[in-house]
Amino acid sequence: MAEFAGLRQPDRRIMVVIGHYGSGKTEFCVSLAMLLAKNGYGSYSRLALVDLDIANPYFRSRERRDLLESAGVRMYGSAYQHEITAELPALGADIRAPLEDADCRAIVDVGGNDSGAIVLNQFGKYFSPEDALFLIVVNANRPETRDLAGAMEHLEAIERKTGRRIDGIINNCHLLLETDAACVAKGHRLCEQLAAETGKFIWCDCFPSPIVPFEQIAGRYEYPMPLGMYMRPSWIDK
C-alpha cells in the first residue's frame, strides 16, 4: 500500500465494522489494521483484529492471519488455526481476550447483513458506547445499498436486530478493478444523503490505492482511506 499520512485515528478503543456482503467490509478491516500497525495506534500497546463473521464463507479476515500477525496485528476468530478451516463457523475460546484487554485496540469484523450481525449480541457487554464505535460500510454499487432507501433499510435492520446504534458510515463504493475516482464520488453522494437522513456522520471515504492514485481524490474528502486490496485473490483477475 502506498504511503499515506492522513489516516483517521479511531476515537474509541474498539471499532465494530458491519457491512453487506460485497461492501468491502473485510478489506476495510484488514487495510485499517495494516495501516494502524505501520503508522501507530494511539496510546495502546497492542492491536488486534477480531473476525466475528460467521455468515460469509468467502473473504474472511482470518484468511490473512499470517500477513496480519507478521505486521504485529494479533488475529482472533476461528477455533481452528489453519486457513483450510477458515470457512467453518466456529469461534475460538480466546476471542474475548482483546475485547477485555483495556490496553488493546481492537477492530471487529462482523458478518454482513442483519442476521450475521446478531452474533454481536453474545458479546454485548464489551461494546459500551464509551468504548466501542459502530460503523457501517456502504457500497453504492451493490444492489441492496445502491440507493438511499436500500441503504437505510440495511442500516435500520442491523440496528433492530442488534439493539445497537450505528455511529458512522464508511463510503466504500467500488467496482473491483474498474473502480475510479468517479466511483468514490458516487458513493460519497449516497453516504451524504444517508448521513443527513439518519443524523450519523461519514467516518471516511475509501479508495483502492493500487488502482486509484491518491492525487485523484486529494482535497475532495475530509478523511480519505486507502485500501490495500489484501483480500483480492489472484484468480478473480484471470
What is the structure's pLDDT at 8? 83
Sign, CA dihedral 67-6-134-28, equals negative
Give me the chain's average pLDDT, please.
84
Report the pLDDT value the prediction gives residue 113, as an integer from 0 to 100: 61
Is there a contact between 26 and 77 (Cβ–Cβ < 8 Å)?
Answer: no
Q: How do residues 5-55 score in pLDDT, each as one tens digit?
A: 567 888 899 999 998 888 899 999 999 999 999 988 888 999 999 988 765
Which pLDDT tens digit goes with each residue over 161-214? 888 899 999 999 999 889 999 999 999 999 999 999 999 999 999 999 999 999
Chain centre distance of CA 134? 10
Give percent of the chain above pLDDT 70: 82
Strand partners, 201: 168
Q: Are 141 and 183 in contact (CB under 8 A)?
A: yes
| Residues 94 and 110: beta-carbon distance below 8 Å | no
pLDDT of residue 66: 87
- Asked whether residue 89 carries a pLDDT value surpassing 50, the answer given is no
Task: Let me know the angle formed at the C-alpha of 122 by 113 and 102, rounded to the nearest 5 degrees.
Answer: 105
Instruction: Flag whether pLDDT at 86 surpasses 60.
Output: no
Which single residue is written with the C-alpha cell 454499487?
141
135 or 66, higher pLDDT: 135
Please report, for the chain, how many H helices and E strands are present, in that order.
Answer: 6, 8
CA distance 176 to 41: 28
Q: And the C-alpha cell for 21? A: 456482503
Residue-level pLDDT at 94: 80
CATH topology of domain 14-231: Rossmann fold (3.40.50)
3-class DSSP state of 170: strand
DSSP 18-38: EE-TTS-HHHHHHHHHHHHHH
Give me the residue spans of the domains in the chain.
14-231
Angle between helices 181-198 and 148-162 (to 10 degrees): 60
pLDDT attached to residue 117: 65
Integer Cα distance of 70 and 227 in angstroms: 18
Which pTM was predicted? 0.87
